[in-house]
């Protein structure tokens, strides 16, 4: 058999083999991505559950008044008595765990050195201390500190938290989305998105976690980031871009009791 013919046969055999390998790779990749998405859901569940805990432990908050619908949701930035920023709500949540750490120091304090190296699954991806979840802050949001809205009056369509792409923000460090300057593209530093899977997760006031695709219109999404927009628009508008949902137990959320 001529060398050219043998080469043709080899190439003819390699093409379907390469196709099979590619298909197997894609199937495995999809399977692993789904696993990472499920892991992220569990992380976000803990984020919301611990926000409920913050309502009860915050020194500046009357838990009875909160349950009566008179108090806003906990602040995004924990401050000392002088009003100086200390650390993020993420670290405030961490401090609700049984750990004998001081609660009135700057997040960069020496006393927190060992914690800063810690990578909590709720807020970070494996091997990285950058936060992958941001709250939606700024004017007319659940976390508006200038004109706060009682938590029990927040519309259920309002987004509280979302995946952030390359936050460049340590999970203990103050830093979150601000509706006034969220990037208008997905998967850019500081914008909505994830490096761990396609699309991104958002968490609504009523405890629903939705996974939205990267083709979600950003202007449509932003409608559900403000109280006004969430009141005026139906969440059904986002339904075509959602491919996964999870519902938290509403009985565990203080702002829904």
What tens digit of pLDDT does each residue of 118-143 get?
999 999 998 999 999 999 999 999 99
Give the CA count within 13 Å in the CB-facing half-sphere of 117: 4
- Residue bearing the bigger pLDDT, 208 or 55: 208
Return the pLDDT at 234: 97
**Between these two residues, 235 and 24, which has the higher pLDDT value?**
235
CB neighbour burial string for 55-93, b if at least 16 within 10 angstroms, e if fewer? beebeebeeeebbeeebbbbbbbbeeeeeeebbbbbbbb
pLDDT tens for 58-113 read 655 566 787 788 889 999 999 998 999 999 999 999 998 887 899 999 999 999 99
The predicted model scores a pTM of 0.87
Provide the pLDDT confidence category of residue 34 given band limits of 50, 70 and 90: confident
Residue 4 — very low, low, confident or very high, per pLDDT cuts 50/70/90?
Answer: low
Question: Which pLDDT tens digit goes with each residue over 140-178?
Answer: 999 999 999 999 999 999 999 999 999 999 999 999 999
Residue 9, pLDDT score: 60
- 219's tokens: 């202007």
Domain boundaries, the chain: 36-256
Average pLDDT, the chain: 89
| Residue 180 in this model has a pLDDT that exceeds 90 | yes
Note the pLDDT of residue 67: 75
Mean pLDDT of 185-203: 97
Tally the C-alpha atoms within 13 A of residue 87's C-alpha that lie toward its C-beta: 22
Q: How far is CA 82 from the centre of its chain?
A: 30
The reported pLDDT for the residue numbered 196 is 93
């Amino acid at each position: 058999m001529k060398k050219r013919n043998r080469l043709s046969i080899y190439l003819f055999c390699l093409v379907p083999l390469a196709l099979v390998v590619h298909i197997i790779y894609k199937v495995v990749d999809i399977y692993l991505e789904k696993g990472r998405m499920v892991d992220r859901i569990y992380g976000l569940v803990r984020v919301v559950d611990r926000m409920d805990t913050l309502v009860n432990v915050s020194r500046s908050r009357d838990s009875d008044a909160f349950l009566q619908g008179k108090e806003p949701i906990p602040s995004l930035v924990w401050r000392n008595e002088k009003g100086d920023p200390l650390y993020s709500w993420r670290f405030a949540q961490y401090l609700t765990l049984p750990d004998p750490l001081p609660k009135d120091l700057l997040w960069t304090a020496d006393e927190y050195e060992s914690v800063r190296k810690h990578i909590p699954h709720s807020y970070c991806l494996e091997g990285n201390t950058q936060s992958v979840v941001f709250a939606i802050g700024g004017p007319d949001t659940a976390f508006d500190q200038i004109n706060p809205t009682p938590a029990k009056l927040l519309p259920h369509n309002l987004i509280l938290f979302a995946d952030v792409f390359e936050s460049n923000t340590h999970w203990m460090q103050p830093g979150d989305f601000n509706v006034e300057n969220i990037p208008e593209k997905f998967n850019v530093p500081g914008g909505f998105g994830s490096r761990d899977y396609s699309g991104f997760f958002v968490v609504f006031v009523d405890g629903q976690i939705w996974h939205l695709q990267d083709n979600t219109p950003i202007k449509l999404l932003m409608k559900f980031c403000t109280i006004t927009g969430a009141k005026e628009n139906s969440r059904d508008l986002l339904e075509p871009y959602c491919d996964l949902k999870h519902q938290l137990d509403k009985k565990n959320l203080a702002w829904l009791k």
